[in-house]
């Protein structure tokens, strides 16, 4: 019986001599007919710890190596995509902006029937009667 061969993406390389490979397949939904993606993770043997996260690899079925590992990585198909990040140093010649202290906004008076106006009405009544 031939060995199964799958192609997937390395999602974890934390284990010693082990990588976790996610294999995606597209299937048609049984009721709605829409094509959807299904994925499954396989633990694969990486003897040299040569494969990194994000790489496309081909894995092949083998005799069980451990409880969860029964696949080996055969070859690398694509390299991981890494982004170059440049860190710009701050310009020392530019003047620093002055510290601005935020002023407290004035409270807006509330409309009729609000609790804030009751104390003002009591003061008006006291002034009128005096």
| Distance between CA atoms of residues 5 and 124, nearest Å | 90
Residue ranges of the chain with pLDDT lower than 70? 81-85, 90-97, 99-130
Beta strands of 1-130 (E only): which ranges?
5-12, 18-28, 35-45, 56-61, 69-78
pLDDT at site 73 = 96
Q: pTM of the entire structure?
A: 0.60
Residue ranges and CATH numbers for the domains of the chain are 5-78 (2.40.50.140)
pLDDT at site 87 = 73
pLDDT at site 78 = 87
List alpha helices for the chain, DSSP H: 116-129
| pLDDT per position as a tens digit, 83-120 | 556 777 766 666 666 766 666 666 666 656 555 555 55
Burial of 35 from C-beta contacts in 10 A (0-12 / 13-18 / 19+): exposed
């Amino acid at each position: 019986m031939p060995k199964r061969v799958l192609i997937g993406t390395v999602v974890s390389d934390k284990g010693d001599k082990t990588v976790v490979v996610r294999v995606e397949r597209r299937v048609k939904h049984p009721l709605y007919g829409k094509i959807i993606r299904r994925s499954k993770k396989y633990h694969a043997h990486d003897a040299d710890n040569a494969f990194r996260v994000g790489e496309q690899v081909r894995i092949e079925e083998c005799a069980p190596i451990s409880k969860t590992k029964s696949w080996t990585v055969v070859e690398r198909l694509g390299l991981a995509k890494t982004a170059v990040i440049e860190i710009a140093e701050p310009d020392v010649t530019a003047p620093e902006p002055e510290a601005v202290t935020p002023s407290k906004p004035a409270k807006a008076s509330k409309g009729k029937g609000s609790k804030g106006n009751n104390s003002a009405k009591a003061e008006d009544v006291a002034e009128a009667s005096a």
